[in-house]
Amino acid sequence: MDDKLFLMIPGPTPIPERALLAMAKAPVGHRSSEFAKIMEEVSENLRWLHQTTGDVITLASSGTGAIEAAIVNACSPGDRVLIGANGKFGERWVEVAKVFGLQIELISAPYGQALSTEAFRIALEADTEKTIKAVILTHNETSTGVTNDLETIAGYIRAHGEAVSIVDAVTSLGATNVPVDAWGLDFVGSGSQKAYMIPPGLAFLSVSEKGWKACERSTMPRFYFDLRQYRKALKKNNTPFTTPVNLVYALQVTLQMLKAEGLEPLFNRHAHLRDATRAALRALGLNLFNPDDASASAAITAVLPPSEIPCAKLRSTMKKHFDIVIAGGQGEMESSIVRFGHLGFVSGRDIVTGIAALEGSLHILGYDHFAKGSGVTAALDVLAS
């Protein structure tokens, strides 16, 4: 059946109908007073979602662009930076830092495990000469479904005094609590195709006053990603370059939806969907890739399929027979795990449907080491609690 495909991946995520309809409107001029009024509301609601009174910049880019923008504005060539990597996206920030000639000190952990907060404390406290200028880390490592303890690490960065925090919150912002001001975060980047519930194409970057001071000190070459231009334009409720007007129409709608839901219910919904998914997968006798603790992502759940079923085969079976798309692994886990997204415009009905499709796919592929309906029952038990 055409037009029935449903995404259960870390992004793009499902889009509400009202956001799709908003994008269908004819665009207004991106320098018009009408558009400035929309941007004023959008900026206010972005500050609400980020839990900050500071600036939240809107960029026409992916989330990667937001983090690169933070790096080139916060750092100068040759600066010493501390980077946490426990998955594909943490590794990406290492590659970006190399491109811009930064001196990298790496704190790593195996795929599936959280970064050691103690390792950050030791490294930052040992830097008595304050040569570390930035700490770059991923809050929710999408490639493996692991959430790092950002709150604790942020405290060590603040205690250091000199270093700024650069946080990839691409799949955590809007799915879990990221109180920018309360945690003293300096640069926090995210992307539109995740919890914002709209298509790819926009990125967001909150910047603290400490972050703005770093921007003024930076000698890194920059033009399109010169955040000072964005701050100047933000005062006029605009951006320095052409804004994707129709994406902003959709963003206006979804931010209104998120605000109507409220922060605590929003975070609780994602946690509830995560718990239902994990309970269902365990009931099917499948091994989860990371433990049931604070590191379990509210955005995606990674699971190891039965050894006799290739990941690609499981994914293609779900798509062919049930029109549901789940994600494969990334990096070194590319062919070892599959990932179920429960991020953004997702409800309990979607989780139950996805688990039922998984049960059916496992049956089609000859894996019957579970009682029929056990996964769905486990999910329903959690969702009903």
Q: What is the mean pLDDT of the chain?
A: 97
pLDDT tens profile 212-264? 999 999 999 999 999 999 999 999 999 999 999 999 999 999 999 999 999 99
Which pLDDT does position 3 carry in this prediction?
A: 81
Which pLDDT does position 88 carry in this prediction?
A: 96
Token pair, residue 3, equals: 């037009």
- Number of other CB atoms surrounding residue 335 within 10 Å: 10
Q: Which domains does the chain have, with CATH numbers?
A: 6-11+263-383 (3.90.1150.10), 17-260 (3.40.640.10)
Which pLDDT does position 91 carry in this prediction?
A: 97
pLDDT band at 2 (very low <50, low <70, confident <90, very high): confident
pLDDT tens profile 28-41? 999 999 999 999 99
Residues 75-85 have a mean pLDDT of 98
Q: Distance (Å, rounded) from C-alpha 67 to C-alpha 89?
A: 11
Residues 53-82 have a mean pLDDT of 98
pLDDT band at 285 (very low <50, low <70, confident <90, very high): very high
